[in-house]
Chain A
């Protein structure tokens, strides 16, 4: 079992996540993509932790999971509010912040 396998998995997940964030219009899908990115990072952390035989990576991964949960909570609440106000969650229509 090589660490490179995990790192490759992480890289693929990260790429999928970046694609999702940039390309999807649906806000929920964007949030899910962000989760993918975070989990890719988690995979990398765990992989390096195993490589270096230290517990810090595991701890940090758990920490990232907790932060991700909070982030999703806030994100979904925002999406819900946007949906209530505009009856749509298409991100390309949300340009009221244009400078």
Chain B
């Protein structure tokens, strides 16, 4: 086929600078931040802004590179940022989708140990570019938001330092060239998450939440280390043969699809890595940390715990997709671990979102549920829709969290309790309400909002790839999403204003306003977050300092521009981002730009280190139909062993063809969910006579179900009371016994016998042997010195004579010996 010359550019070649800038920014904030006029926030915003500029440049050049792979129809750079000009000629891009576009890989040796080289570099492909752009963009908006939201906080500088370090960590992970670098970024994020959740650590609940998040994720991180080791030992030989090593992500991808990889190695390596993804991305058994993480400041929830950090697990699976594709046999329609965990998470988390009264917890469970969708998509072979869902979800979920922050900042007097302190806010906060509605519509998957184009594609592809069970799971999840978001919207913005939203102060009103139906168990599960944010609102935000002290008198009002501007930008993207890949209107840019094409690459010029953009990689395009049609592959990358001399780096993936008919069930279910929920909400919370009012108090099974949900399936009880107690308490008791009886005995015994030995050694060895030897050698030296004294005349001539005499004797001996 045609040999395409891939274009590159400065931004692509130097994408590794993107994480370096915030990393330097972090150091500067820590070192100088407190002395600067804006307390370090200007460094954070400037460094993230610089990274965003670089990321935009890299995105532009990557799009250029992808189009250059299509056979040179675009010789020059695309005119117009993001290639909007291409939308005029959508047909041209289809030619570019048939060859595998080489990622821009660079690697430098970081350190060496035992013959292994650990590199540090960049692996820039569509996925990395997408997340680079996303993370820098959202980080920038959140930092701008934070300048208002946490202004006056006593650890303002540290807050920005941690946010900036987090961005650096995420960016390091996103463009990681190898697994070691990926783990580095992964752990930096874990640390920053811990620091930021516990930002107001004076509250017991906050530091507990931070610890819980940290340790729960650590449970999964064990899987990351084990999985990396398994994959390394499996892949290293193949990778070395191909000029790389077993940590390189590209080599691992190639190895997994080479047909030489052992199935069990891939399976167990994949399981271990997936456990890491479960921990980080809040999937079902380990999701419990994510809602508690809402104890952190709202910008943190918005950035880390909804839009960026928690997709790290999804990113890990998407990044090493060949390993999972082969290991879990995703190409067939067998049920696999990823899809099962994703499916359970979708439903379980959505159900929990119904019983929350804390607005941030609703959003937290919604995040968990949406992450479940992404995992589900990856598990059923819908790689691109899942990744696209990362993209769209980041915008609308970030917007929802920031809107929640805006409400608590200016509307509900630092409370997050929807039932007590909100209601009817849309009149007072029109911008916040509008952006919330748009983002909610996107989250619910209402047509023509972005969530529809990503979530519906996941559901559609699950059906198309033969995973019927998960198709229904996805549909039910969509209806539940619509219902609980409608409930949250109703409670927040409609109905009668309550509590702080009605202009009341409520500092001592914690325990009186709970509805009778929510008496059981409620106090335990959401009051701490409420207390936390409430207590800190007054001192940490320092409202009196910046002119908001008429707060109580005026009641809710709209937030200042530094809060609303990010909201509006995100809301626009919550609509607009979907059109990058909206089959309903015939766009598929995201598919073209992000998805690695599952075509085999000829390996003649392959070498993992050192090829950059000037390299003319010959790509062999095997003739197969362009995506966007109903497809069912049974051969090609991911299904059959690649031909000799070729390497696959990505499996061939099916793409379901969009039709309105197939989208109809989900649209109808979403509409049903919204209407049913709105009707029930008006009944239950609006006080109108309604058969559902007081349902949980009248009808026992409903009450049991409610209690079960309020207690979060008793998973926290299981973890803390059963597992931790069962494991930790006997261990602690046994350890104490061993400590007292064995270790202390050993230590004391060793001490006593050591003392006795020491005394014996002193008497016998030290006094007799050692001292005797020292004295004897001194005596010998003294005597021999006296004997040799006569030679030491001090006269140079005599020394010379001795020297030459000795040399002569030596020479004579040599001559005699030689003869």
Contact = CB atoms under 8 A, between A and B. Distances in A.
Contacts of A21: 797, 800, 804
Interface in A85-99: 91-92, 94-99
Contacts of B797: 21-25, 30, 91-92
B794 A96 contact: yes
Contacts of A96: 794
B545 interface: no
B791 to A, nearest CB: 8
Contacts of A30: 796-797, 800
A18 interface: yes
A32 B658 CA distance: 104
Contact of B804 (A22, A27, A95, A99): A22
Contact of A94 (B788, B794, B804): B794
Nearest to A19: B804
Contact of A97 (B785, B792, B804): B792
Interface in A1-36: 18, 21-25, 27, 30
B801 interface: yes
A12 B800 CA distance: 18
A95 B795 contact: yes
Interface string B785-819: 10011011111110011001000000000000000
B789 A94 contact: no
A45 to B, nearest CB: 17
A99 B793 CA distance: 7
Contacts of B794: 94-99
A96 B794 CA distance: 6
B608 to A, nearest CB: 46
A21 B800 CA distance: 7
B804 A18 contact: yes
Interface residues of B, number: 13
A99 B784 CA distance: 13
A32 B19 CA distance: 70
Interface string A49-65: 00000000000000000
B795 A99 contact: no
A21 B795 CA distance: 12
Nearest to B801: A22
Contacts of B785: 99
Interface residues of A, number: 16
A41 B797 CA distance: 21
Nearest to A20: B800
Contact of B789 (A22, A25, A92, A99): A99
B800 A98 contact: no
A99 B796 contact: no
B800 A92 contact: no
A75 B804 CA distance: 19
B795 A91 contact: yes
A34 to B, nearest CB: 9
Most buried by B among A18, A25, A30, A99: A99
Interface string B565-590: 00000000000000000000000000
Interface string A66-86: 000000000000000000000
B804 A98 contact: no
Contacts of B804: 18, 21-22
Given A18-B804, A22-B801, A22-B804, A98 B792 contact: yes
Contacts of A27: 796
A15 to B, nearest CB: 11
B793 A94 contact: no
A97 B793 CA distance: 7
A37 to B, nearest CB: 9
A78 B795 CA distance: 16
A94 B788 CA distance: 20
A41 B527 CA distance: 98
B795 A92 contact: yes
Nearest to B785: A99
Contacts of B792: 97-99
Contacts of B796: 27, 30, 91, 94
Contacts of B795: 91-92, 94-95, 98
A96 B792 CA distance: 10
A11 B801 CA distance: 18
Nearest to B807: A18
A21 B788 CA distance: 23
Nearest to B795: A95
A99 B785 CA distance: 9
A50 B192 CA distance: 76
A98 B788 CA distance: 12
Contacts of B791: 99
Most buried by A among B792, B800, B801: B800
B797 to A, nearest CB: 6
A23 B797 CA distance: 7
Nearest to A34: B800
Nearest to B791: A99
A98 B789 CA distance: 8
A95 B795 CA distance: 5
Nearest to B798: A22
A59 B801 CA distance: 30
Contacts of A99: 785, 788-789, 791-792, 794
Contacts of A92: 795, 797
A22 B807 CA distance: 14
Contact of B800 (A22, A25, A95, A97): A22
B782 to A, nearest CB: 13
Contacts of A23: 797
Nearest to A93: B795
A26 to B, nearest CB: 11
Contact of B793 (A22, A24, A95): A95
B269 to A, nearest CB: 60
Contacts of B789: 99
Contacts of A91: 795-797
B785 to A, nearest CB: 8
Interface in B490-531: none
A18 to B, nearest CB: 5
B534 to A, nearest CB: 84
B23 to A, nearest CB: 53
A90 to B, nearest CB: 10
A55 B744 CA distance: 74
Nearest to A33: B800
Nearest to A14: B804
Interface in B677-703: none
A91 B799 CA distance: 11
Contacts of B801: 22
B703 to A, nearest CB: 101
B559 to A, nearest CB: 82
Q: Which 4 A-B pairs have the closest CB atoms?
A: A99-B792, A98-B794, A95-B794, A97-B794
Given A22-B801, A22-B804, A91-B797, 18 more contacts: A18-B804, A22-B797, A22-B800, A24-B797, A25-B797, A27-B796, A30-B796, A30-B797, A91-B795, A94-B794, A94-B796, A95-B795, A96-B794, A97-B792, A98-B793, A98-B795, A99-B785, A99-B791
8 contacts: A21-B800, A22-B797, A24-B797, A91-B797, A95-B795, A97-B794, A99-B788, A99-B794
Interface of A: 18, 21-25, 27, 30, 91-92, 94-99
